[in-house]
Homo-oligomer: A and B are copies of this chain.
Amino acid sequence: MQVAVVLYEGVTALDAVGPYEVLRSMPDTSIRMVGPAVGPVMTDSGVLTLGVSHTYASTMTPDVVVVPGSERGTLAAMNDPELLGWLTAVHATTRWTTSVCSGSLILGAAGLLQGVPATTHWIAQDLLPQVGAIPSPQSRIVHSGKIATAAGVSAGIDLALWLAGELCGREAAEVIQLAIEYDPQPPFDAGHPSKASAEVLAAARERFARSA
Q: Which residue of B lies closest to A202 (CB)?
A: B175
| A121–B178 alpha-carbon span in the complex (Å) | 10
Q: Which 3 A-B pairs have the closest CB atoms?
A: A152-B181, A183-B191, A49-B51
Q: Tell me whether A154 and B181 are in contact in the complex, defined as CB-CB below 8 angstroms, given that A47-B32, A48-B20, A188-B161 are known contacts.
A: yes
Q: Which residue of B lies closest to A153 (CB)?
A: B180
Whether a CB of chain B sits under 8 angstroms from the CB of A173 is: yes
| A47–B207 alpha-carbon span in the complex (Å) | 33
Taking a contact as CB atoms under 8 Å apart, the answer to whether B181 and A155 are in contact is yes
Q: Tell me whether A50 and B49 are in contact in the complex, defined as CB-CB below 8 angstroms, given that A12-B21, A187-B162, A197-B174 are known contacts.
A: yes
- For A154, give its contact among B122, B140, B180 (CB under 8 Å): B180
| A162–B104 alpha-carbon span in the complex (Å) | 30
| A21–B45 alpha-carbon span in the complex (Å) | 9
Identical copies in the complex: 2
- Give A69 Cβ to nearest chain B Cβ, in Å: 10
Taking a contact as CB atoms under 8 Å apart, the answer to whether B173 and A21 are in contact is no
Residues of B within 8 A of A157 (CB): 154, 184, 186
- Give A158 Cβ to nearest chain B Cβ, in Å: 5
Residues of B within 8 A of A190 (CB): 174-175, 177-178
Contact with B along A162-178 (1 / 0, CB 8 A): 10010000111111011
Taking a contact as CB atoms under 8 Å apart, the answer to whether A178 and B204 are in contact is yes
Taking a contact as CB atoms under 8 Å apart, the answer to whether B171 and A203 are in contact is yes
Residues of B within 8 A of A50 (CB): 48-51
| A209–B199 alpha-carbon span in the complex (Å) | 48
Most chain B CB within 10 A, of A20, A51, A174, is at A174
- Give A36 Cβ to nearest chain B Cβ, in Å: 16
